[in-house]
Amino acid sequence: MKIGIYFCNCGSNIAEKISSAAVAAAASSFPDSPYVKIVDFICSEEGKLQFEESLKSEQPDRVVVAACSPRDHEATFRRCLTNVGMNPYLIQMVNIREQIAWVTEDPAVATEKTIAAIRGAVCRVRLQQPLEKKQLEVCPDALVIGAGPAGMKAALSLAEAGRAVVLVERTPFIGGLPVRFEDLFPAMECAPCMLEPLMGDLLHGDHVGKIELMTMAELIEVTGFYGNFIAKIRRKPRHVALHECIGCGECVEACPATTRNEFNSNASERKAIDFAFTGVLPNAPFLMEEICIRSKGVECRACKDACPMGEDVVTLDEVETTVERRIGSIILATGAGLYDASRVVGMGMGTLPDVYDALQFERMLSSTGPTGGEIVTSDGTAPSSVAIIHCVGSLDEDHKPYCSGICCQYAFKFNHLITAKLPEVSITHYHRDLVVPGKEAHALLQHAAGNKNSSLKRYGSIKDLAVTHGSNGRLQVSATGDTSTADMVILCPAVIPAEGADRLSSLLDVSCDSFGFFQELHGRLDAAQSTLKGVYLAGACQEPMDIRSAMLEGMASVGHTLAGLQPGRMIEIEPATAEVDETRCAGCRLCVSVCPYHAITFDSERNASHINAVLCRGCGTCVTACPSGAIAGHHFTNEQIMAEIEGVLK
Amino acid sequence: MTAVADFEPKIIGFLCNWCSYAGADKAGGMQETYPPNVRIIRVMCSGRVDPQFVLSAFEKGADGVIILACHPGDCHYKEGNCRALQRHGMLNMMLEQLGVEKERCRLDYVSAGEGEKFSRVIREIVESVRVLGPLLVASDHNAEILSTE
């Protein structure tokens, strides 16, 4: 074995503290180390050239570079090794600049410490093995869960890039929450009009052949791993053939059964077969089996008979199915919901009439909603005063400690819309902190502040507020030292993860934070990646956000998908990972329980653990945990680390 | 026993690649000197620090060991630092039985930005081990127990 030692002066950075001559003299006693080359700036173009030339002429089996931090230039020198035909894992760096030269007072001591550190590296590098990156074929296609703004944007962009996309949506329609709103903050754009082109593209655009949309569907099982997932999706029967239905509504007219419509916040009725709401896309009704009188044994086919498009459109016998799709990555875009405002004591939610949460009020404002966009109280008259209470359950240790970020903006949007419809109505905002970030949001606040019929009242704690019955059947809002009457109260509850996020989290083994939002791999560096490789996050499923951010997050997740998986290109698997020696594995499965990436499975037939090299990130926790010493942590083996310890202590 | 003032302890520092090793680099960038007694061994994660590495360090002549991890909740590998903490508790019990003072084996947290904290922790461990004096295990039967060969 021949180990080449390279010592970088780093100009005067290292040279003024550490004597290269003393190091070279000491190195002559190191095992298998016949030479020490001193270079001035080994990371410079000239330095790298010198390094490579020396590697070519000396032909060492292993290399030690004593220079700066490996966090700076390990990759640089590994590339040099590759350039001269050496395996890049046969180098060990010694950090003599950041960790010795710059922090040691006495040059003699610094030199002595350097000699010990290089001896450790020499002892370690002797045991380092060439490692090869493995390659794996992958599926470049993606599964997107949730067809709200983030999911739609992601699906469309992937399809534009030529990827096949399976878009799974739990409800019977696309567009998410905002498609049910009238206007949007900050620019008061009509929500359906803004989303329509996107939805149209998704359903009928140029890339529609690439998108398989499944409404009324949910993910029930995922196996495999990054690049090679198999997803099982359960499709509930719609009982209407989407592509044949023309959306005329004849079947709805004919249907004899009714129920409350959850997509209108239960504020209106619907038939058993009906549209989710007016203007919905895809423009087709769906049948609620549990409401249909056939479920009670009545032989009815009124809807089917009413259909002008023939026998095959209304499919009464359709049953639930399960389909499998192969994909390489998964984008979670499951969105958000609202905290149940009835859990905040004193707000009157669910107990007093004319108290609405923001989603209910959005539907009341909507021209496709239960009142056709008319703002009316429960007695059918227009209100003369409205109270809007911000931060219901947000910034509140008893409920959700975080700021929900979007509420102030839509509360001022409400102000704008109410004033437009009922100019004389007086509006009181009860708020804690006001959050109107960015360059556009302030306009709605200023509009509300400039509205002669509006007032802003700040409260300290939601406990200081109470909504109660007032006189003449009106409501009364009491704040500290102040009581006002209101005909209608609108609550802005905390934004929370959409229902079912917890189920997806356990199904995929993707972590959630303490609030139930999907956890980012890193809150700032990798905010669009989940904790599981190949599963990305888009939109309000990771934290409260507005449509603009959700769309951007959708694009960010697409970026990860496109960059990571490309048709015809295999993915490289980092070899500095862990591997089980099956003959030594005792089958205790401790490794399975400590692996933070679920990269280890237990093969009961072989009675041994198996590590998936694609999922393993090389932390080495399992290597340490294994009581049988059956797991090797490549490039950080026990032998290598022990040799280094011994080397530095000699 | 060597007089405390003359004694320069040898200490092995196990640093995780992402936080504490970067914290040591940060301390370097600040160019403020600290005692030279700690020899650094880089591991990818503090969860990789095998108790046998620590025992081996003592056996091969270290007077102290310091394991530096990412702060709780900041681990690059999610929870490797929690494993390190668990193992450190176990190690301390074992070392106590061998008569090795628990101050000789410390676990602490240093983030990538905490250059100052890194220097402080290094100064502290060097001082506390200096006060304890050299670890005398080389010739008695503890060496045999510490030996993992």
Contact residues, chain B, for A633 at CB < 8 Å? 48
What is the end-to-end Cα distance of chain A in Å, rounded? 21
> What was the pLDDT predicted at B1?
46
Residue ranges of alpha helices (H) inside A175-226 are 191-204
In a domain, B136, yes or no: yes
Nearest CA in chain A to B50: A624
Per-residue pLDDT tens digits for A254-265: 999 999 999 988
In a domain, B22, yes or no: yes
In a domain, B2, yes or no: no
> What was the pLDDT predicted at A481?
82
Distance in Å, alpha carbon of A345 to nearest chain B alpha carbon:
33
| Other Cβ atoms closer than 10 A to B131 | 12
Q: Can you read off the two tokens belonging to residue A96? A: 């003599």
Per-residue pLDDT tens digits for A170-180: 999 999 999 99
Measured at the CA of A310, the angle between CA A304 and CA A313, to 5 degrees, comes to 60
* Residue B2 pLDDT greater than 80, yes or no: no
Q: Measuring CA to CA, which residue among A518, A511, A507 is closest to residue A545?
A: A518
* Residue A394 pLDDT greater than 90, yes or no: yes
Q: How many domains does chain B have?
A: 1
Per-residue pLDDT tens digits for A2-51: 999 999 999 999 999 999 999 999 999 999 999 999 999 999 999 999 99
- Count CB pairs under 8 A between chains A and B: 121
**Mean pLDDT confidence for B22-26:** 96
Residue A520, SS3 per DSSP: coil
**Mean pLDDT confidence for A533-555:** 96
The percentage of residues in chain B with a pLDDT greater than 90, rounded to a whole number, is: 81
The percentage of residues in chain A with a pLDDT greater than 70, rounded to a whole number, is: 100
Contact residues, chain A, for B44 at CB < 8 Å? 618-620, 636
DSSP state of A6: E
Q: What pTM was computed for the model?
A: 0.79
* Residue B139 pLDDT greater than 90, yes or no: no
Distance in Å, alpha carbon of B10 to nearest chain A alpha carbon:
8
The percentage of residues in chain A with a pLDDT greater than 90, rounded to a whole number, is: 92
Per-residue pLDDT tens digits for A358-388: 999 999 999 989 999 999 999 999 999 999 9
Kindly report the length of chain A: 650
> What was the pLDDT predicted at A472?
85
| Other Cβ atoms closer than 10 A to B125 | 25
* Residue A435 pLDDT greater than 90, yes or no: yes
Give yes or no for A645 touching B (CB within 8 A).
yes
Contact residues, chain B, for A71 at CB < 8 Å? 17, 21-22, 25
**Mean pLDDT confidence for A129-156:** 96
Residue A528, SS3 per DSSP: coil
In a domain, B117, yes or no: yes
Confidence of residue A524 (pLDDT cuts 50, 70, 90): confident
Residue A477 CB contacts under 8 Å (≥ 6 apart), including other chains = A387, A389, A428, A430, A465, A466, A467, A483, A484, A485, A486, A489
Among B21, B47, B57, the residue with its CB nearest the CB of A621 is B47
Domain that holds residue B35: 8-146
Q: Can you read off the two tokens belonging to residue B74? A: 């900041």
Are B56 and A645 a contacting pair at CB < 8 A? yes
In a domain, B105, yes or no: yes
Are A620 and B47 a contacting pair at CB < 8 A? yes
| Residue B85's CATH number | 3.40.50
HEC letters along A52-98:
HHHHHHHCCCEEEEEECCHHHHHHHHHHHHHHCCCCCCCEEEEECHH
Confidence of residue B6 (pLDDT cuts 50, 70, 90): confident
* Residue A124 pLDDT greater than 60, yes or no: yes
> What was the pLDDT predicted at A322?
98
The per-residue pLDDT of chain A, averaged, comes to 95
Contact residues, chain A, for B55 at CB < 8 Å? none
In a domain, B3, yes or no: no
In a domain, B1, yes or no: no
> What was the pLDDT predicted at B149?
44
> What was the pLDDT predicted at B147?
61
Per-residue pLDDT tens digits for B89-133: 999 999 999 999 999 999 999 999 999 999 999 999 999 999 999
In a domain, B123, yes or no: yes
* Residue A597 pLDDT greater than 90, yes or no: no
* Residue B3 pLDDT greater than 60, yes or no: no
**Mean pLDDT confidence for A446-475:** 93
> What was the pLDDT predicted at B143?
61
Per-residue pLDDT tens digits for A210-258: 999 999 999 999 988 899 999 999 999 999 999 999 999 999 999 999 9
